[in-house]
Structure 1
């Protein structure tokens, strides 16, 4: 198997080149009409910032969404519109940035997201739900692994985690050009693979993946669902790696129901 081709998404998605401009435009328009506080620091590095969107009235809780991009692309402001569904249901939404590879290794990014979740939880009371897409799905899954340091009070507030099209076993990426930026060896790829962890926080997990995704992403989703007793798998019919996240905009859709109940 050509692993670079196996993990390539855009070349197999019709009009893939239109998605990034659309996301960027939709996110900017959403920020203009939604109440938000942007670039809240959770650390000293330039990208250690999160945006916080607040609903009218007292929030029901906090949703944290972590973006993807194979840990080496994109930034937090491209995804603001994906806060729409949770905001409409009365939840606050935090969207953290993080240092990209090759400047940061995956293990360091994992620690950054733990700090971001902690900082965002300090701004909003109530339960916390985590969602992330692709590499972001990996990162929110890692928040449940016992080797990731979350304060006890924050860990106790975790209500549900929904990794969307996540990468859960990083070892295959050692055979791709992606690893030129990630610079992982086998030890780091193993340590950073949620599907290989058994010491996992007892929080319900729904692994969400599109039915029209590349076969390796269906495999990656199954590996986590099969190996974690607290995880179930949902395959969303006909959706691919890019449009699978659009359900976060629909407050009554199945993805938001899986996330917020």
Structure 2
């Protein structure tokens, strides 16, 4: 793991994206706009913790099934309210979409977060019958991939990990680990690429073609490590705009999330 000297730079996205600092405010504005006009049930509990809540966005007719989107932020930033607009594509196709928050580092470690996401999906499934599809971005990509691992409750069998992190060991060499507090054991135990997927699961690893080399490596790695996994390198997109296609009901990314094959 020492061939890359500066692991902090390897995981730094904003500094390498034009106007990268403007994206969070734009996401929040789009999310607020969508919440004001969508059919939604907000702040549904899946536990007793203050962040153990999910928003559920619903189509006008009976849902075809449930999509769940898990947000990123390196397990230490953001919550569900920044990403509401990403429900539009699935909802326009007749699916419900749940967006959970989860307890962030350093208050929680990654094993606790993975347990929270499993409980959130189970709670959302109780509200919406039918098939379940998962998508997550960056750290959220890690969390949805973890849901497909054989050591987790069987809450879903299909997921799209968008710019996901699947091998956590390099994070041990970053300054952000002062917040994440990963150990050698935790990094291995929580790395999907080092774990066994449940039989019958399907994963799509989706990554922008202009992302940092480490994110391209992470997506290629899970493709090699897991059977029945498809790798999609999406054109000239970067880490902050690769998720925008979830707003489009007809985009290849939305199709990848809701269709029966990766």
The answer to whether TM tops 0.5 is yes
Q: Distance in 1 between matches of 2:73 and 2:21?
A: 14
Alignment of 1:28-39 (within 5 A): 28-39=32-43
Is the CA contact (8 Å cut-off) linking 2:135 and 2:159 kept in structure 1?
yes
Partner of residue 66, structure 2: 62
Q: Distance in 1 between matches of 2:25 and 2:213?
A: 26
Is the CA contact (8 Å cut-off) linking 1:132 and 1:140 kept in structure 2?
yes
For residues 163 and 199 of structure 1, do their structure 2 counterparts lie closer, same or farther at Cα, with a shift above 3 Å needed? closer
Partner of residue 176, structure 2: 178
Q: Distance in 2 between matches of 1:62 and 1:82?
A: 14
Cα deviation, 1:180-226, whole Å, max 9, x if unaligned, reads 11101100000000000124342221110000000000000011111
Partner of residue 143, structure 1: 147
What is the SS of the residue equivalent to 1:149? coil
The reply to whether residue 77 of structure 1 matches residue 99 of structure 2 is: no
Is the CA contact (8 Å cut-off) linking 1:145 and 1:201 kept in structure 2?
no
Partner of residue 137, structure 2: 133
Match of 1:226 among 220, 224, 227: 224
Q: Distance in 1 between matches of 2:182 and 2:22?
A: 31
Query: RMSD value over aligned CA atoms?
Result: 0.8
Structure 1 portions without partners, runs of 5+? none
Q: Distance in 2 between matches of 1:208 and 1:193?
A: 17
What is the SS of the residue equivalent to 1:122? helix
Q: Distance in 2 between matches of 1:225 and 1:49?
A: 32
Structure 2 portions without partners, runs of 5+? none
Is the CA contact (8 Å cut-off) linking 2:166 and 2:219 kept in structure 1?
yes
Q: Distance in 2 between matches of 1:71 and 1:201?
A: 27
Is the CA contact (8 Å cut-off) linking 2:197 and 2:226 kept in structure 1?
no
Moved beyond 6 Å, runs of 4+: none
With normalisation by structure 2, the TM-score equals: 0.96
